[in-house]
Chain A
Amino acid sequence: MTIHDYQLSQLDLLEAEAVHIFREVAAELERPVLLFSGGKDSIVMLRLAEKAFWPAPMPFPVMHVDTGHNFPEVLEFRDRRVAELGVNLVVASVPEAIDRGLVAEEPNGSRNRIQTPVLLEAVEKHRFTALFGGARRDEEKARAKERVFSFRDDFGQWDPKNQRPELWSLYNGRIHLGESIRVFPLSNWTELDVWHYIQREGIEVPSIYYAHDREVFERDGMLFAANEFCRPREGETTFVARVRYRTVGDASLTAAVKSDADTVEKVIDEVASTRLTERGATRGDDRVSEAAMEDRKKEGYF
């Protein structure tokens, strides 16, 4: 930050905007919760929430929608970080919901879609009125149209054609009983901004974001880790490769990318020069159709 010309860097501006959003929600909405997956975006969110209310603790719990398909490194990180901050962790468990019959396993084994009812049930149970998510507009084209305060009806649905206009930094958080707001403080951040911020703040992220050797196999042009959730089919052979994860989602359909980037500086160089979007490179779930994300969002997904 150069004080002399009263000019803020892009990271300072993005941080100031995000902090403003966190405070606005805490002031106006009764029961917020921060969605925390242990992924890099939600880790940055946690840091911003910590800053927004410092020296007081953040005035809301965090929630993890646990698909049961986790990378152990991420789960370990989640629990450690939550303990350090002393915040409450709510876990909405998909495997448990399957056992109870709330949702049924899909034929392809993906739990991406069925996590939505589990999320919505937890929201209803805890009467959460605002859910902070780490989604960014640069991630996906349906998200490029999303508001910072994204209104959801009492079924958790998003109506893209009927969004509230959002002007200046005046956010409309008014809702009726049963309705909720999804809040995206990182709306204007790019993947590169997130990494620059991780570097600047010295934020720790799970080790799988950095290059490591892993047993993988190739499917649809992507590299998947061979693990309990994701096994090679006939004709797919496993091999050890130097990889890292650009996104961390459901372990059964998040792919790794070949990489030698084992430090935050190298990751920044890699992200700056890549020619593939992070979702395009690593997410099996967005490949279903052109509007896969939009359809899931309408059903109540993030």
Chain B
Amino acid sequence: MDLLRFATAGSVDDGKSTLIGRLLYDSKAIFTDQLESVERTSQQRGDEYTNLALLTDGLRAEREQGITIDVAYRYFATPRRKFIIADTPGHIQYTRNMVTGASTADLAIVLVDARKGMVEQSRRHAFIVSLLRVPHLVLAVNKMDLVDWSQEVFDEIEHEFSAFATKLDVPDLTVVPISALHGDNIVSRSPNMPWYEGPSLLHHLEHVHIASDRNLVDVRFPVQYVIRPQSLQHADYRAYAGQVAGGVLKPGDEVMVLPSGFTTRITSIDTAEGPVAEAFAPMSVTIRLEDEIDISRGDLICRPHNQPSVAQNIDAMVCWMAETPLVPGQKLAIKHTTRSARVLVKELQYRLDVNSLHRDDTATQLGLNDVGRVRLRTTVPLLADEYRRNRSTGGFILIDESTNRTVGAGMITSAS
């Protein structure tokens, strides 16, 4: 059984909670005591129906105010796959939460209400999905029951959305007409929409091919931790632990260590179960090398003829997540793969309107939930790829050095 992580975007009005409730319920991931608790709370509040949103709203403040504050993670499984849902709220802190949820997602579901069609929010959600390079996008056109299961309505929305998605460079788009409330096209194909010939939503989630989404070409192994047992049994053992960020590594491979540039060979790839024949993303392994080279956390192992940039000038799309704005001249801490450094914000090139995609190059700062293109200068070189080539070696977070809060997320567009 494999695992699919997906993010859902949309507001309560689009029926997102109903959809998640439906997926969980139909896959038997909602338990009797959870349902009873939700029914009890619904009743106490005087809701007219059992409010499935309460299943995902875990915090007191959320239940009191009837809003979702933060990303909630949900789990369910079918015989084919295990699923992790990052349920991102549509209203509050939408960009920050959706960026967070999308950062680890293999797939994103954007919901639209069939009666309303594409709205500003749908464009924003699709944009964030493409910004974070979520490999698979599903547009779920919900509430088809309220438009008489009309193929015409569906075709129009599909057409409009596809045209927009083309501009965003979305690699894989699937559009499914559904009724989350009645369960149409959720688990099985709906008899109400015989004109729709595609898969049900769950069928698509179970079968979408994700194995080729990872980068198996460019070998990238950020060194996370040096393992040197201080014991007689393993006296000379010295190895480099980390999670493979790209490519396939095999014993005997010639590799280069950055930033030093030394080359050597892999002698073995170790796990607690014994050596393995190869390692690929996202395996956590331990690598031994032929030569004794000075290697520490933050270094990166790659192939001599396929290296990332060793760069201190970083251009990136940054999503800002703090109340106090990002301004040129500001100094921040950065965490990129296993490397930490400091950065100077050299320039804000433009602020992007996430609804219209308009670039405002007169912007002087990025406020909370703003997205913009930023030029950074780092104190030490980063071993970086373009985010579009590798999400692990192309993404970074920015940290405020006085509060230690995570204040920004960056996607590298170029590094030199």
Q: Give the B-binding residues of A (Cβ under 8 A).
A: 3, 5-10, 12-17, 19-20, 23-24, 26-27, 50-57, 137-138, 140-145, 160-161, 163-170, 172, 174-176, 187-188, 190, 192-193, 274-277, 280-281, 290-291, 294-295
Q: Please encode chain B, from 10 to 39, with 1 for each CB lying within 8 Å of some chain A CB and 0 for all others.
A: 000000000000000000100111100100
A57 and B33 contacting across the interface, CB-CB below 8 Å: no
Beyond A6-B280, A9-B2, A192-B77, list 5 extra A-B contacts (CB 8 Å): A13-B2, A27-B225, A55-B231, A165-B397, A277-B33
B61-99 CB contact bits vs A (8 Å, 1 = yes)? 101000001111111010001101000000000001101
In the complex formed, the residue of A with least CB distance to B334 is A170
Please determine whether B280 and A291 come into contact, CB atoms closer than 8 angstroms: no
Taking the complex as formed, is B305 at the interface, i.e. its CB lies under 8 A from any CB of chain A? no
- Residue B416 lies at the interface, judged by CB distance under 8 Å to chain A: no
9 A-B pairs with least C-beta separation: A280-B33, A141-B58, A56-B229, A19-B284, A10-B3, A54-B272, A174-B404, A167-B103, A51-B272
Task: Tell me if A294 and B2 are in contact (CB < 8 A).
Answer: no
Q: How many A-B residue pairs have CB under 8 A?
A: 196
Which of the residues B59, B242, B282 comes within 8 Å of A8, measured between beta carbons?
Answer: B282
Known: A27-B225, A290-B37. A16 touches B284 (CB 8 A): yes
- Compute how far the CA of A290 lies from the CA of B37 in the bound complex, rounded to whole angstroms: 8
> Is B60 close to A, CB under 8 A?
yes
B75 touches A188 (CB 8 A): yes
Task: Tell me if B391 counts as interface (CB < 8 A to partner A).
Answer: yes
- Separation of A231 and B307 alpha carbons in the complex (Å): 67
Interface residues of B in 287-338 (CB under 8 A from A): 297, 321, 333, 335-336, 338
* Complexed CA–CA distance, A13 and B280 (Å): 12
Q: Evaluate contact between B335 and A170: CB separation under 8 angstroms.
A: yes
CA distance A3 to B283 in the complex (A): 11
Q: Quick check: A16 and B297 within 8 Å, CB to CB?
A: no
B-side contacts of A291, CB under 8 Å? 59-60, 63
Closest residue to A166 on the B side, CB-wise? B100
Q: Which residue of B lies closest to A175 (CB)?
A: B404
Q: Does B41 have its Cβ within 8 Å of any Cβ on chain A?
A: yes
- Which residues of A lie under 8 Å from residue B81 when comparing CB positions? 10
- The winner among A9, A53, A165, A175 for most chain B CB atoms within 10 A is A165
Please give, as numbers and ranges, the residues of chain A lying within 8 Å of B258 by CB-CB distance.
Answer: none
Q: Are A276 and B100 in contact (CB under 8 A)?
A: no
CB distance A174 to B399 under 8 Å? yes
CB A174 to nearest CB in B, in angstroms, measures 4
**A276 and B1 form a contact (CB under 8 A):** no
Do B211 and A5 have beta carbons less than 8 Å apart? yes
For A145, list chain B residues within 8 Å (CB): 58-59, 69-72
- A56 to B241 alpha-carbon distance, docked (Å): 11
Q: Are B84 and A6 in contact (CB under 8 A)?
A: no
Question: Which of A143, A164, A168 makes the CB contact (< 8 A) with B395?
Answer: A168
**B349 in the interface, Cβ–Cβ < 8 Å?**
no
B:356-412 near A, CB below 8 Å? 391-392, 395-397, 399, 404-406, 409
Q: A169 CA to B224 CA in the complex, in Å? A: 12
**Known A144-B72, A172-B404; contact A160-B243, beta-carbon cutoff 8 A:** no
Chain B nearest Cβ from A41, distance in angstroms? 15
- Given A16-B284, A160-B70, CB of A169 within 8 Å of CB of B243: yes
Contact A168–B225 (Cβ < 8 Å) = no
| Residues of B contacting A16 in the complex (Cβ-Cβ under 8 angstroms) | 243, 282-284
Nearest CB in chain A to that of B338: its residue: A27
Q: Contact between B100 and A7 (Cβ–Cβ < 8 Å)?
A: no
Within 8 Å of chain A (Cβ to Cβ): is B262?
no
* Contact (A163, B277) CB under 8 Å given A172-B399, A294-B59: no
- Complex alpha-carbon distance, A44 and B272, angstroms: 15
The answer, yes or no, to whether B234 is at the interface (CB within 8 Å) is yes
Bound-state CA distance A280–B30 (Å) is: 12
Residue of A nearest to B73 (CB): A137
Among B34, B41, B99, B104, point to the contact of A277 (Cβ < 8 A): B34
A168 to B399 Cα, complex, angstroms: 15
Q: Per-residue 0/1 for B206-234: is the Cβ within 8 Å of any A Cβ (1 yes, 0 no)?
A: 00000100101000000011011111011
Q: Are A26 and B225 in contact (CB under 8 A)?
A: yes
Q: In the bound complex, what is the Cα–Cα distance between A294 and B61 (angstroms)?
A: 11
Q: Does B56 contact A (CB under 8 A)?
A: yes
Q: Which of B34, B58, B225 contacts A23 (CB 8 A)?
A: B225
| Given contacts A16-B283, A54-B272, A23 and B224 within 8 Å (CB-CB) | yes
